Amino acid sequence: MNLHPLGRTAVRVSELAFGAAGVGNLFTPMGDDQAAATLAAAWAHGVRYFDTAPHYGLGLSERRLGDALRGLPRDEFTLSTKVGRLLEPVPFHGGDDLANGFAVPATHRRRWDFSAEGVRRSIEDSLNRLGLDRIDIVYLHDPDDHAEQALDQAYPELERLRGEGVLGAIGVGMNQAGLPARFVRETDIDVVLLAGRYSLLDQRGLTELLPLAAERGVGVVIGGVFNSGLLADPRPGATFDYAAAPADLLARATELKTVCERHGVPLRAAALRFPFGHPAVAGVLVGTRSAAEVEDAAAMLRHPVPGALWAELKERGLLPHDIPTPQEVA
């Protein structure tokens, strides 16, 4: 699988990145064996960039990811985690964490903390859970309601750690484009992880963030290319941004699928390839929960997508006429 440099850094990421929320029991439980098999399949299919966070399963994702990666050559993969939510143990009286999206026992609580001290503690805790010697990329995780503290305290601490060589790159990870653009303008971050805002159905990232990232030499990793399911399988009941898709978006996704099939391209393949039309984009991050899903994602990313498909999508008004689209994949 192709590797791309991340902005101006020496950090490299595979075109397909592994989003590890699923192995943290996102929405439904998963056994250790299934998690291990899913991660092993990702490695076998050439994935060399793995992303996690303390938030994912109250640390379960980091522990499982560390278990999978510890026996592999450390210089051959890139690892990212996130800061902003500290995990604090609480008395366990039964119950789960599904209110926050994860099917794990509610043994900890999350506390927002974008202070310098919080950043240091979060990274130390993550390293302990991962059982690894370093983290390559650290993202500020969802600082939507904590922008000033993240800018004034968390970012400078990450910049200091980057200068000391403790980490290779600083990023911000969000599902909106406005605040990440501010980080690109006002700081020296290296990468933006943008979820759901640069897809076949939602191009809000193109308004300001992506052109600014390209201008400043900031790498972009795109998550949520399927918009939580609608672009994977557009049908009644499909979800868009984790809620039932509105009728107009379902109709648009169905039309996208029809055009893709006319060119012999699965909609999933077009959705995965589309972000690479923009020069700032280094990779796409997909959350997978089984070896079969990993294999499908890798196959879809390799699937040829002819230039005529992008042209027809523009002609039909399903994509803006001036949006950058990938070259034909041989």
Model-wide pTM > 0.85? yes
d(CA 108, CA 9): 35
CA distances to 10, 60, 156 from 136, rounded to whole Å, are 10, 19, 17
Residue 56 appears among annotated catalytic residues: yes
Q: Which residue type, as a one-letter code, is found at position 49? A: Y
How far is residue 176's CA from residue 197's CA, in Å, rounded to a whole number? 7
**Which residues in the chain land under pLDDT 70?**
328-330
CA-to-CA distance for 133 and 241, rounded, in angstroms? 35
Residue 242 has what pLDDT? 86
pLDDT in tens, 160-188: 999 999 999 999 999 999 999 999 999 99
Amino acid at 253: A
Place of tokens 């291990």: 36
Strands (E) in 142-262, as ranges, are 169-174, 191-195, 219-223, 239-240, 243-244
Kindly state the tokens that stand for 155: 């970012």
Give the number of other CB atoms < 10 A from CB of residue 325.
19
Query: Which amino acid is located at 227 in the chain?
Result: N
CATH superfamily, domain at 3-315: NADP-dependent oxidoreductase domain (3.20.20.100)
Phi, psi of 47 (to 5 degrees): -70, 130
Determine the pLDDT at residue 327: 78
Active-site annotation holder among 56, 139, 155, 198: 56
Residue-level pLDDT at 329: 38
Contact by Cβ (8 Å): 193, 17: no
Domain boundaries, the chain: 3-315
